[in-house]
C-alpha cells in the first residue's frame, strides 16, 4: 500500500514587493506563483532536514538529535562541530 500524502492549506500574507518578486521568478521558471512558492518551500525544507542514518530508529535518539541541531554553537568550537557531525 502506498502511503497517502497529507496536505494542508494555509493562507499567508505577503507584502506587494515580495509577491511581485515571486511573480517575476515564477514567470522566469515557467510556472505559476503558487507552484513556484510550494516548490521553493519544499526545497528549503528538505535542505534543512538533518541527515540521520536510516538505521537510527529510536525516538529518544531522534529527539536528542533534533534538540542538538537547533542549538546555536560557536563555529570555532571544534569539539561541538565534531559531536554534531555524527
Per residue in 39-56, pLDDT (tens digit) is 999 888 877 766 677 777
Whole-model pTM: value is 0.53
Domain range list for the chain:
15-49, 51-86
Helices (H), 1-86: 16-29, 33-48, 59-70, 78-85
Q: Is 56 helix (H, G, I), strand (E, B) or coil?
A: coil
| Radius of gyration of the CA atoms of the chain, in A | 19
| Residues in CB range of 19: below 8 A, 6 or more apart | 33
Is 74 in contact with 80 (CB distance < 8 Å)?
yes
pLDDT per residue as tens digits for the range 5-49: 788 888 999 999 999 999 999 999 999 999 999 999 988 887 776
Q: Per-residue pLDDT tens for 63-78?
A: 676 655 555 667 777 8
Amino acid at each position: 500500500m502506498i502511503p497517502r500524502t497529507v496536505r494542508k492549506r494555509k493562507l499567508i500574507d505577503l507584502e506587494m514587493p515580495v509577491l511581485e518578486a515571486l511573480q517575476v521568478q515564477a514567470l522566469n521558471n515557467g510556472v505559476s506563483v503558487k507552484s513556484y512558492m510550494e516548490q521553493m518551500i519544499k526545497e528549503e525544507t528538505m535542505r534543512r532536514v538533518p541527515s540521520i542514518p536510516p538505521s537510527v530508529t529510536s525516538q529518544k535518539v531522534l529527539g536528542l538529535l533534533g534538540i542538538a541541531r537547533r542549538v546555536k554553537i560557536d563555529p570555532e568550537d571544534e569539539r561541538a562541530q565534531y559531536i554534531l557531525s555524527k
